[in-house]
Amino acid sequence: MAMSEETAAAAESPQPPTGRTRGRVRMKRSALMAVPAVAVGGILMTLTAQGVLAAQFSISGMPFTITADKIDGEGFAQFGSLDHMIPGSPNQGKTGGQVLVAVSAIKTAEITNLCQSVDLGGVNLLIRAGDQGTPVAASDLTTDSDLLTAGNAQFKNIEIGGDASTYTKAGPVGVGGRGVFGQQADHVTLTNVNQHNYASTAVGFKLPNLRLSFSSKGC
């Protein structure tokens, strides 16, 4: 599910994707073209359900880590894209304010033992949920990742190499730009997931046993 750096780069044409343009980010490597970045990403930072997904937003440029024991999702899609920072962002470094990413979308997902951490410079903002028998539940979930790994990945009825603009299995959030390489599947199950993300969105997000704290260690 996850694409290699060469694959993700090839997926990006010189013209920016049309249609739903949400910034995206760079993918450095992945466990196989199949490790969905379904990690509940930055959604945890909002802790609210949105009725309508934003069509576009500027990323902060500060990456966050997501880990989970298991991600089980119905309706999956993944494709390459770009995430954009605001002009002159102090976090752009040598990126020019753009990061190439693998966008992973899941129509409905359950996430067991979810952990999210953001390095604030010596201290980590740590969020945990879904580790007391009731998994985290998300709908219309997307994550933008530049690194995705999983101990095991299983897909049902997977299609690899299609035009991402034609995808339907993950719903509207799973549609990429025209001519962009992608893959989609009816169902995905990932175990021992670890992601390096730049952005995430969801229409619905439920976090049982939610705890937020500061720690010297991340996920």
Q: Is the pLDDT of residue 13 over 90?
A: no
Residue 176 belongs to some domain of the structure: yes
Beta strand 124-129 with 211-215 is antiparallel
- The reported pLDDT for the residue numbered 43 is 34
**CB under 8 A, 24+ apart: contacts of 163-167:** 164/11, 164/17, 164/77, 164/79, 165/17, 165/18, 165/19, 167/77, 167/79
- The reported pLDDT for the residue numbered 57 is 82
Residue 195 belongs to some domain of the structure: yes
Selection from 176, 4, 195 nearest residue 78 by Cα: 176
Contact between residue 137 and residue 74 where contact means Cβ atoms under 8 Å apart: no
Residue 112 belongs to some domain of the structure: yes
pLDDT mean across residues, the chain: 80
Locate 166 and state its tokens. Answer: 């034609």
Confidence bin at 56 (pLDDT 50/70/90): low
Strand, coil or helix: what is 165? helix
59-96 pLDDT tens trace: 999 999 999 999 999 999 999 999 999 999 999 998 89
List the domain range (segments joined by +) for residue 80. Answer: 5-48+58-208
Q: Give the count of domains, the chain.
A: 1
Residue 107 belongs to some domain of the structure: yes
- The reported pLDDT for the residue numbered 155 is 97
Locate 172 and state its tokens. Answer: 């509207």
Q: Is the pLDDT of residue 12 over 80?
A: no
Residue 214 belongs to some domain of the structure: no
Question: Within 10 Å of residue 60's Cβ, how many Cβ atoms?
Answer: 18
Tell me the average pLDDT across 94-106: 93
Query: 161 vs 78, 168, 181, 183, CA distance in Å?
Result: 10, 14, 5, 6
Tell me the average pLDDT across 121-139: 95
Residue 111 belongs to some domain of the structure: yes
Beta-carbon contacts of residue 34 (< 8 Å; ≥ 6 apart):
1, 2, 153, 155, 158, 183
Tell me the average pLDDT across 26-44: 34
φ/ψ (deg, to 5) at 164: -60, -20
Half-sphere exposure at residue 160, Cβ-oriented, CA atoms within 13 angstroms:
10
